Each structure stands twice: as structure tokens, then as C-alpha cells.
């Protein structure tokens, strides 16, 4: 029986938290971006910081989004701009270099900020980008060191970006001034960027709330037959609630596709009996959330799916208990790994908690024994990373002794992925043959089952807070999915 559209809309509104019916007032002010630039300047004493923003798109078929580091320092969300900070005695003088549009082109793309409006809007004087090369040459002649903030979308893949506008500009400058000292300024920006302000926390919270509603809507999608139906629901809800775009390529994988960590094709069937891993979230005013839920297509988890899901959920819960101010990031991860390893051993998916295998990737099992444990084959990724202007944003501390701190925003995302395809790629060694022989029948029992549960957290003066409030307990998810036919048109 079809439900009238008006009833459907009313039902959705009934499920919508009141906080999402109005947009928040949180915004990044010129005063805050000035404080960020001051903080970067304080770390270098004297020098020139140069950052290039994103380029105009070479076609008309996509939307421009600013590079995170440039947006952090300026809040300017227009293409073909650059920022130059001349720092002396830790005090910066900042100038924006802007590319104007001719009057006709502005009819297509809108009027950009220029030298007459830059100060009022962004708190910095503006100049034409045509003046930038001569200005940089004059600064290079002073002997001040240059700090280049790479114009890359994310530092995860920065080494692959060798021909960016910024890289080419700095190469040319170095040729003209061989004695010029050029350093990577991105670590300085990331140090400042790691601690989130109150305004940033509010924007991240809103991104998480929007994302949570997308997942709730996906759980309420009646009888999906294809992965892309769920992806469409997620992304529609993100847009409907004011998100700029998905924070990353939405991952919606059913059955065996749920065991591929970054599966983004979303074109295969979603069949009753499958689990679907939905790793998708929204970007709101530049800030990203990152949420994963694993749901049964049929609306009910099987006994085997429940066993793996409970392991992952318990692993998330124990990590949460260790993810508080002053506690060790490594301890949180290790507690989650240890719990899952014990569970995998109890289920017969590994020979024992500490049993090892010969991995198909390059790793020294003597110096990194954890990466060679059999349990690692079924839970291959880490569980914590920062979120903010990038979906993998810095946290305030990193390394072996890192601790959680007030101002951190991050995820906790344990997972388990079981498929014989993992056994098939193992090198043919005596150790691996024994391992495969021992566990293959059990692997077949849980064949093509991926489970990941990911939530977003912030640490404030009140402690740890989970901000991605969408059902995650199996009984809650099943209860919500039971309502699908009642509200789906």
C-alpha cells in the first residue's frame, strides 16, 4: 500500500530533531582567521608564508570548492587566489592576491571579491594576482626564508601532486634566487589547525547531525534492490539539510563489496541476506563528518552477522572508554584490537589471539609483529583519525605517546571484514597453508560479511561527546527498519 506524499513528509518531520529544523549561527569570522595566521606566524618568527588557493575549474560541469589549508587561513572560497604573509618578529602582514573576472564572465559566475572589498570581507588588503610574481621576487631578495603551504586537497596524497600552481611558482622562484631557503609550511598550519575552536566544533557538530539524518533516512528506505538507492537517499538527505556536498566519496557496499574498505561504485544488487556497509557523511561550510553504519538489507541480522557486529560494536565501546582527555590514543586503539582478536579466536577465524601469518604486503614481522597477526587480516585498518576541514584532519598530538586533548575532533571506526578473497591473496608458504586449512570452513560460514561502525566525537571542557547520534545498536536499527513500509512513498 502506498503512503500519500503528505503523510510521508509529516512522518519524516516527526523523525527530525528540532535542532535540525533551523540553521546554526556558527561561522568562522575574519577575527578567527586572523588569529590563525597570528598563530602560524608565532611559529616562524620571521619569514614569508605563501599559500595558493584552488584553481578555477577547466570546465563548467563541477562546483568549485576551496583547498582546506587556504580556506583555514583566509575563509576565501573563490578560485585563483593566493595569500602572502610577511612575518617579522612573529607579527604577520597579510595580503590577498585576487583574480578578477571581466564583466561578461561575471554574468556567468558572479562577481568575485576584489581589492576594494577584500578588507571589509576578509580583514586583509587585496591586490591583483598579476602583481604577485614581482612581489614574490622582491621578498625573495630580502633573504627571508619562504614557507610554502602546498596547494593540495589533502596531505594523504600530497606526494602525488607535483605540478600544482604553488609548486611551479616556487620552483621558478628557486631558479631565479638559488640562495633562497624554501621550507614546507604545511606542518605549521596543521599544528594550528589541529585544535578546534568553539565555532569549528559547532560546524563539525552540524555536519555530523546532517550526516546522521542521512543514515537514518537510508535505514528507512524500503526494499532497496541496488546499492545506489541507498547512496541516493544518503546524499539527498545531506543536500536537503544544507550540506555543501558529501565529505568524501560515499561508500555503499553490499555483501562482498562491504569487505572492500573504499568501495565507491555503488552499482551492484543489494540482496536480502546481505549486510550493507554505508560509510558516508556530509560537508557543511567546509567541515566534514565521517559516519559508518552496517545494516541488513532484509531489516534483520542473521545469527552470524550478529556475532561479528557485536564484536565490532564492543570494540568501539571499549575504545570510547579510553578516548578521554589525557588518555592514550594508542591505548584506545590497542584495546579495540585486543577485544576483536579475542573474539575472532573464539569464533575460529584465527588459530589463536597471537597466531601469525606471512602477509602479502611488505612488512618486517620481527619489528612489527602486530601487522603479521592473523587477526590483522580481518581488521586491516586503524580506528581513529581527526576530522575537520578534511575528513582526515590533524589531531593535536600524534606518534607513540599521543594523548587525547580538549579541542580534538575525531572518529572511532573499528571493523571486521571476512571473505575468502583475503585468503586467496596470501603467499603460498607452510605457515599460510596451515592457517588456511584451519580457518577456511569458518570463513565460509561468515563469507562476504563486512561490518564497520564509525562515529564522530569531540572533546570539550566537559569531556568526550559523541555527536553522530544515529542508531547503532542492532535492536535499534532493526526497530527503525521495521518502520520502512509505513513511511516510504
- Prediction pTM value: 0.92
Do 263 and 187 lie in one domain? The reply is: no
Q: Give 58's pLDDT tier (boundaries 50, 70, 90).
A: confident
pLDDT in tens, 378-435: 999 999 999 999 999 999 999 999 999 999 999 999 999 999 999 999 999 999 999 9
Given a cut of 60, whether residue 489 has pLDDT beyond it is no
Tell me the C-alpha distance between 279 and 270, whole Å: 15
- 5 within some domain: no
> Within this chain, do residues 347 and 224 fall inside the same structural domain, yes or no?
yes
What 8-state DSSP symbol labels residue 20? G
Residues 292 and 152 in one domain: no
Tally the C-alpha atoms within 13 A of residue 117's C-alpha that lie toward its C-beta. 8
Mean pLDDT of the chain: 92
Distance, CA of 30 to CA of 182 (rounded, Å): 28
> Do 149 and 209 have their domain in common?
no
Q: Does 202 lie in the same domain as 166?
A: no
Of 148, 166, 194, which closes a domain?
194
Condensed to tens digits (0 to 9), the pLDDT of residues 106-122 reads 998 889 999 999 999 99
How many CB atoms sit inside 10 A of residue 5's CB? 9
Given a cut of 50, whether residue 7 has pLDDT beyond it is no
CATH of the domain at 183: 3.40.350.10
**CA pair distance 329, 268, nearest whole angstrom:** 37
Q: Choose one of 179, 194, 209: the last residue of a domain.
A: 194
State the DSSP H helix or E strand holding residue 28, giving kind and residue range, or none if neither: none
**159 and 182 both lie in a single domain:** yes
Are both 379 and 272 inside the same structural domain? yes
* CA-based R_g, the chain, Å: 25
Q: Could you tell me if 255 and 130 lie in one domain?
A: no
Cα 269 to Cα 305, 461, 467, distances in angstroms? 19, 46, 32
Helix (H, G, I), strand (E, B), or coil: what is residue 96? strand
Work out the angle between the directed axes of helices 165-176 and 132-140 (0-180°, nearest 10).
50
- For 255-342, list the strands marked E by DSSP: 275-279, 282-284, 287-288, 292-296
| DSSP secondary structure letters along 324-366 | STTSBHHHHHHHHHHHHHHHHHHHTSSSSTT-B---SS---TT
- CATH number of the domain bearing residue 274: 3.90.230.10
* Predicted confidence (pLDDT) per residue in 299-351, tens digit: 999 999 999 999 999 999 999 999 999 999 999 999 999 999 999 999 999 99
Among residues 144, 178, 194, the one where a domain terminates is 194
Within-domain flag for 123: yes
Section 160-183 average pLDDT: 89
Residue recorded with cell 580506528: 383
Q: For residue 84, what are the domain limits?
A: 30-194
Mean pLDDT of 228-257: 98
Q: What is the Cα–Cα distance from 216 to 211, expressed in whole angstroms? A: 9
Q: How confident is the model over 352-372, as pLDDT tens digits? A: 999 999 999 999 999 999 999
Is residue 460, in this structure, part of any structural domain at all? yes
The total of structural domains in the chain comes to 2
Please choose, from the candidates 289, 463, 389, the residue with its C-alpha nearest in 3D space to the C-alpha of residue 36: 389
Determine which helix (DSSP H) or strand (DSSP E) holds 91, and give its type and residue range.
Answer: strand 91-98
Amino acid at each position: 500500500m502506498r503512503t500519500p506524499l503528505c503523510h510521508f513528509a509529516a512522518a519524516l518531520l516527526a523523525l527530525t530533531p528540532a535542532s535540525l529544523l533551523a540553521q546554526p549561527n556558527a561561522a568562522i569570522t575574519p577575527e578567527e582567521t586572523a588569529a590563525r595566521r597570528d598563530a602560524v606566524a608565532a611559529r616562524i618568527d620571521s619569514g614569508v608564508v605563501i599559500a595558493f588557493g584552488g584553481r578555477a575549474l577547466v570546465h563548467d560541469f563541477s562546483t568549485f570548492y576551496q583547498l582546506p589549508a587556504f580556506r583555514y587561513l583566509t575563509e576565501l572560497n573563490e578560485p585563483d587566489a593566493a595569500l602572502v604573509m610577511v612575518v617579522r618578529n612573529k607579527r604577520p602582514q597579510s595580503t590577498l592576491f585576487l583574480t578578477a573576472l571581466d564583466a561578461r564572465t561575471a554574468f556567468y559566475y558572479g562577481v568575485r571579491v576584489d581589492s576594494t572589498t577584500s578588507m571589509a570581507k576578509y580583514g586583509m588588503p587585496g591586490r591583483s594576482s598579476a602583481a604577485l610574481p614581482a612581489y614574490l621576487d622582491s621578498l625573495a631578495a630580502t633573504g627571508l626564508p619562504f614557507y610554502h603551504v602546498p596547494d593540495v586537497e589533502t596531505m594523504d596524497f600530497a606526494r602525488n601532486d607535483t605540478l600544482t600552481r604553488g609548486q611551479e611558482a616556487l620552483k621558478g622562484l628557486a631558479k631565479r634566487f638559488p640562495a633562497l631557503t624554501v621550507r614546507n609550511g604545511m606542518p605549521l598550519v596543521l599544528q594550528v589547525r589541529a585544535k578546534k575552536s568553539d565555532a569549528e566544533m559547532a560546524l563539525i557538530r552540524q555536519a555530523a547531525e546532517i550526516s546522521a539524518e542521512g543514515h537514518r533516512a537510508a535505514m528507512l528506505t524500503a526494499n532497496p534492490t541496488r546499492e545506489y538507492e541507498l547512496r541516493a537517499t544518503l546524499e539527498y538527505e545531506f543536500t536537503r539539510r544544507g550540506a555543501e556536498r558529501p565529505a568524501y566519496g560515499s561508500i555503499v557496499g553490499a555483501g562482498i563489496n562491504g569487505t572492500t574498505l573504499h568501495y565507491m561504485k555503488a552499482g551492484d544488487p543489494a540482496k536480502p541476506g546481505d549486510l550493507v556497509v554505508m560509510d558516508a557523511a556530509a560537508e557543511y561550510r567546509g567541515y566534514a563528518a565521517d559516519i559508518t553504519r552496517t545494516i541488513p538489507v532484509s531489516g534483520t541480522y542473521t545469527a552470524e552477522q550478529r556475532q561479528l557486529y557485536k564484536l565490532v560494536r564492543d570494540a568501539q565501546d571499549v575504545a570510547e572508554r579510553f578516548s578521554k582527555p589525557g588518555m592514550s590514543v594508542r591505548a584506545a586503539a590497542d584495546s579495540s584490537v585486543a577485544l576483536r582478536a579475542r573474539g575472532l579466536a573464539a569464533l575460529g577465524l584465527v588459530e589463536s589471539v597471537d597466531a601469525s601469518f606471512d602477509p602479502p604486503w611488505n612488512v618486517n614481522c620481527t619489528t612489527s609483529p602486530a601487522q603479521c597477526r592473523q587477526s590483522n587480516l580481518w581488521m586491516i585498518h586503524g580506528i581513529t583519525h581527526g576530522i575537520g576541514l578534511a575528513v582526515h584532519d590533524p589531531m593535536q598530538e600524534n606518534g607513540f605517546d599521543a594523548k587525547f586533548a580538549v579541542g580534538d575532533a575525531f572518529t572511532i571506526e573499528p571493523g571486521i571484514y571476512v571473505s575468502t578473497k583475503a585468503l586467496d591473496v596470501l603467499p603460498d608458504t607452510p605457515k599460510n597453508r596451515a592457517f588456511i586449512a584451519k580457518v577456511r570452513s569458518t570463513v565460509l560460514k561468515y563469507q562476504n560479511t563486512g561490518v564497520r561502525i564509525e562515529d564522530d566525537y569531540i572533546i570539550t571542557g566537559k569531556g568526550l561527546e559523541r555527536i553522530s547520534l544515529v542508531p547503532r545498536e542492532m535492536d535499534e536499527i532493526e526497530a527503525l527498519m521495521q518502520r520502512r513500509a509505513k513511511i516510504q512513498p
